């Protein structure tokens, strides 16, 4: 899909050659003389556009307007959230084989950069179609979308960011949606190598021999029940000086989670193909970085394997040794995500990162706690937690911070190893995070549990591409921060902490 940004007055929009116009209508219609004004004013006067955001009115060949189809959609106050909703609803309604060239007319509303970015994202989201393993699917009809605004120059940054997010989200959706037999660890590595051909990105892929040499006994333990060989993917985006400390993103890449010997029940087990949603979001974020080109260094780490029951599979009670040296008693083989992530977190330390963020479809408990609206956010570093939470609000890709009190780690005690991989059922998202935290004690670390947000179930089953928008926003914000500020702030907050003791 091709996006374009144009300065377009309402009068020019009426003349614009397209298969359809999607016209966003604000609560307070500005005065004007164009045929578009006349149409909207009439519809409002006749009470045909009454209702909240997303209320719409479809018009066919209205007078004085060149495009044959005109869809009026209420956009309320036209803030980013309202535009996301209204554009999404409008584009979904305009899904038709005859609509390949669309103009989204934002000239009647006051749109800022964040609002335009939201509109671009919503347009892509609403027109996305997965086709890879479904030859009968009708591919996306939309080929060209022009965003018409009153001043293109004023919102160009939002447009660019929007295009980058869309590239990232669509890359993430594609890989997360692919069935597990089409998205094996080796195929994920191929996708990462494909990204390695983009400007600024380098990819390295480690296999079982290298992973063994590194001592990643916990990651290897999960992989040992599968016929598919594991992969450890290392991506690097260099947008700043070589010596600049990178942000490290770690994505859980379980390409299928049967639970292993602690086998999952049959219902909805197919959805465990999405258990590499964290990995997909890391890949997608790198696709977005190649477009947005921020002045920042980023490393992506993806431990990837299947979790299968087998004669060679790990058994409840097995004790394995992680790369950190800590031994782990595997009481439940279905708590495998933390077992592969812990070794990746140990590996992350070698980059001397300014921040490490892991992203994982980690716990059903997080789905119970936060549902599908917000991802779970965990960090002992207030500044990092705040930066991620803010990036979430800014991009509309929300998260919510949950606690990390040490008392939550009580249940992880083991009589046979340094730590057990599960505690009781209570606070399951938090105890999982407490497990991970043991492997990140020296790191400025945060954890995003995306079990509830990475995909939708039911009739609209499919990957969401989350949290690519949050991650890209966080990275863009980091890049925009004056150099040295990160360190100075960390020092100041360390001082404040020791003073308060």
Binding interface with ligand BES (CB under 6 A):
257, 275, 332, 334-337, 361-365, 367, 422, 428, 451
The one catalytic residue among 338, 354, 374, 434 = 338
DSSP label of 264: P
Is 337 a binder of Zn ion (CB under 5 A)?
Answer: yes
d(Cα 203, Cα 156) in Å, to the nearest integer?
A: 31
Residue 281 contact partner, candidates Mn ion, Zn ion, ligand BES, none, CB within 5 to 8 A by sort of partner: none
Q: How far is the CB of 174 from ligand BES (least distance, A)?
A: 20
C-alpha closest to that of 366 among 259, 251, 469, 448: 448
Please say whether the dihedral angle defined by the alpha carbons of residues 485, 486, 488 and 494, taken in this order, is positive or negative. positive
Query: Binding to Zn ion by residue 306, rule CB under 5 A?
Result: no
Give CA–CA dist 275/378, Å, rounded.
19
Minimum Å distance from CB 77 to Zn ion? Answer: 40
249-308 residues in contact with Mn ion (CB under 5 A) are: 257
| Secondary structure percentages of the chain, helix, strand, coil, to 5 | 40, 20, 40
- Compare residues 219 and 474 and give the one whose CB is closer to Zn ion: 219
Q: Report cis status (omega within 30 of 0) of the bond before 467.
A: yes
In the bound state, the residue with its beta carbon closest to Zn ion is 257
**Rounded to whole angstroms, how far apart are CA atoms 395 and 449?**
18
Closest distance between ligand BES and the C-beta of residue 489, in Å?
34
Cα–Cα dist 377/386, whole Å = 10
Instruction: Considering the complex, state which of residue 335 and residue 448 has its C-beta at the smaller distance from ligand BES.
Output: 335
> From the CB of 403, what's the least distance to ligand BES, in Å?
18
53 by Cβ neighbours in 10 Å (0-12 / 13-18 / 19+) ranks as buried
Q: Which stretch binds Zn ion (CB under 5 A): 149-157, 237-245, 247-255, 469-477?
A: 247-255
Nearer to ligand BES, 78 or 282 (CB): 282
Q: Could you say which of 95, 264, 381, 456 is catalytic?
A: 264
User: Which span (151-159, 210-218, 336-344, 374-382) binds Mn ion, by CB under 5 A?
Assistant: 336-344
Any contact of residue 343 with Mn ion (CB under 5 A)?
no
Cβ distance 257 to 264 under 8 Å? yes
Contact 232, 211 (CB under 8 A): yes
Question: Shortest distance, CB of residue 365 to ligand BES, whole angstroms?
Answer: 6
Other residues' Cβ atoms within 10 Å of the Cβ of residue 335: 24
Q: Based on the residue annotation, tell me whether 338 is a catalytic residue of this protein.
A: yes
In the complex, least distance from residue 277 CB atom to ligand BES, rounded to whole angstroms: 9
The token pair at 244 is 């600049």
- Please identify, using beta-carbon distances, which residue of 329 and 334 lies nearer to Mn ion: 334
Q: Which of 37, 39, 29 is nearest to 63 (CA)?
A: 39
Residue 451 interacts with, from Zn ion, Mn ion, ligand BES, none (CB under 5-8 Å by kind)? ligand BES
Q: What's the DSSP call for residue 49?
A: T
Instruction: State the CB neighbour count (10 A cutoff) for residue 187.
Output: 18
Residue 469 CB, nearest distance to ligand BES (Å)? 20
Tokens 């249940």 correspond to 411
Nearest to 253 by CA among 226, 218, 219: 219
Q: Is 257 in the site for Zn ion (CB under 5 A)?
A: yes
- Scanning residues 458 to 497, which ones bind Mn ion (CB under 5 A)? none
Question: Does 275 engage in binding with Zn ion (CB under 5 A)?
Answer: yes
Q: Is 264 a catalytic residue?
A: yes
Q: Which is nearer to ligand BES, 325 or 457 (CB)?
A: 457
| Residue 358 binds: one of ligand BES, Zn ion, Mn ion, none (C-beta under 5 to 8 A by kind) | none
Q: Does 334 participate in binding Mn ion (rule CB under 5 A)?
A: yes
Residue 67 and residue 20 in contact, taking contact as beta carbons nearer than 8 Å: yes
The alpha carbon of 394 is separated from its chain's Cα centroid by a whole number of angstroms, namely 14
Residues that bind Zn ion (rule: CB under 5 A) add up to a total of 4
The binding site for Zn ion (CB under 5 A) comprises 254, 257, 275, 337
Binding residues (CB under 5 A) for Mn ion: these are 257, 334, 336
Task: Cite the active site residues.
Answer: 264, 338
């Amino acid at each position: 899909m091709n996006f374009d940004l144009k300065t377009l007055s309402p009068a020019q929009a009426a003349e614009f050659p397209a298969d359809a116009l999607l016209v966003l209508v604000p609560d307070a219609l500005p005065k004007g003389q164009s045929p578009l004004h006349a149409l909207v004013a009439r519809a409002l006067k006749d009470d045909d556009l009454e209702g909240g955001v997303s209320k719409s009115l479809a018009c066919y060949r209205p007078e004085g307007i060149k495009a044959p189809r005109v869809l009026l959609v209420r956009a309320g106050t036209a803030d980013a959230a309202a535009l996301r909703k209204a554009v999404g609803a409008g584009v979904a309604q305009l899904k038709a084989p005859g609509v390949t060239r669309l103009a989204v007319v934002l000239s009647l509303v006051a749109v800022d950069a964040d609002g335009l970015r939201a509109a671009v994202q919503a347009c892509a989201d609403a027109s996305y179609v997965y086709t890879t393993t479904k030859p009968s699917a009708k591919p996306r009809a939309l080929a060209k979308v022009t965003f018409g605004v009153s001043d293109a120059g004023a919102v160009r940054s939002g447009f660019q960011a929007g295009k980058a997010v869309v590239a990232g989200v669509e890359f993430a959706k594609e890989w997360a949606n692919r069935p597990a037999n089409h998205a094996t660890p080796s195929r994920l590595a191929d996708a990462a190598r494909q990204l390695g051909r983009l400007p600024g990105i380098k990819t390295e892929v480690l296999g079982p021999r290298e992973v063994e040499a590194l001592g990643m006994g916990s990651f290897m333990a999960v992989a040992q029940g599968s016929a598919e060989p594991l992969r450890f993917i290392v991506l690097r985006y260099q947008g700043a000086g070589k010596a600049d400390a990178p942000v490290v993103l770690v994505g859980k890449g379980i390409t299928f989670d049967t639970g292993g010997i602690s086998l999952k029940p049959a219902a909805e087990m197919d959805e465990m193909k999405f258990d590499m949603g964290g990995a997909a979001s890391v890949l997608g974020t790198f696709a977005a970085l190649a477009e947005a080109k921020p002045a920042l260094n980023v490393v992506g780490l993806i431990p990837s394997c299947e979790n299968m029951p087998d004669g060679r599979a790990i058994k409840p009670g097995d004790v394995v040794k992680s790369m950190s040296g800590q031994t782990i008693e595997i009481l439940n083989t279905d708590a495998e995500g933390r077992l592969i992530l812990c070794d990746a977190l140990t590996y992350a330390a070698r980059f001397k990162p300014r921040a490490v963020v892991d992203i994982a479809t980690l716990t059903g408990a997080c789905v119970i706690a936060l549902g599908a609206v917000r991802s779970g956010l965990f960090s002992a570093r207030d500044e990092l937690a705040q930066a991620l939470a803010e990036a979430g609000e800014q991009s509309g890709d929300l998260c919510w911070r949950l606690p990390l009190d040490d008392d939550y780690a009580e249940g992880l005690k083991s009589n046979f190893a340094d730590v057990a991989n599960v505690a009781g059922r209570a606070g399951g998202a938090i105890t999982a995070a407490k497990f991970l935290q043991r492997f990140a004690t020296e790191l400025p670390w945060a954890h995003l549990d995306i079990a509830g947000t990475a995909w939708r179930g039911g009739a609209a089953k499919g990957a969401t591409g989350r949290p690519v928008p949050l991650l890209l926003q966080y990275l863009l914000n980091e890049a925009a921060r004056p150099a040295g500020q990160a360190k100075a702030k960390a020092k100041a907050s360390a001082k404040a902490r020791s003073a308060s003791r």
